[in-house]
Amino acid sequence: MLNKVFIIGRLTREPDIRFLPSGMQITSFTIANNRRYKDRDGNWKEDSYFFDIETFGALAERVGRQLEKGTQILIEGSLRQDKWENSAGEKRSRIKIVADRISILSKVAKKEESSSMEESVEEPIEDFSSDDDVPL
């Protein structure tokens, strides 16, 4: 069965770093992806979608060090569904993307580097990927 995702988006917040009891690092973050389209009346509309991303091991370490809010990235990964029961006994689930490879497309310029936080600085694409096993 095929489970492969490619998506481009910008980090909406700084990456969150945690560790499993085994010592393996997990870094998670959210990206925003925008879709622009014309409605039935010919007016341009834009929708924003938000996706939770998780990385593990060596990839998680690099993500935690190198990515920051506003960075535009290309993610290659797979979908994963977490299921649990809340305190009221209701079943819950959430789908997230587990990244296998991340490419930095551009970073937001820092205040000292630019007068506007919205300006982006084009950089060479920087790839980093993981050969680590993702815990189940």
CATH number, domain with residue 22: 2.40.50.140
Overall domain count for the chain: 1
Structural domain contains residue 122: yes
Element (H, E) at 36: strand 25-38
DSSP H helical segments within 5-126, as ranges?
57-66
User: Would you call 69 helix, strand, or coil by DSSP?
Assistant: coil
- Count CA atoms within 13 Å of residue 25 on its CB side: 15
Domain membership of residue 110 as a residue range = 5-34+46-129
pTM for this predicted structure: 0.76
Structure confidence at residue 117 (pLDDT) = 31
Q: State the Cα angle at 8 between 112 and 119, rounded to 5°.
A: 25
Structural domain contains residue 118: yes
Cβ atoms of 11 and 67 within 8 Å: the answer is yes
Per-residue pLDDT band for 131 (boundaries 50, 70, 90) equals low
Q: Has residue 74 got a pLDDT over 80?
A: yes
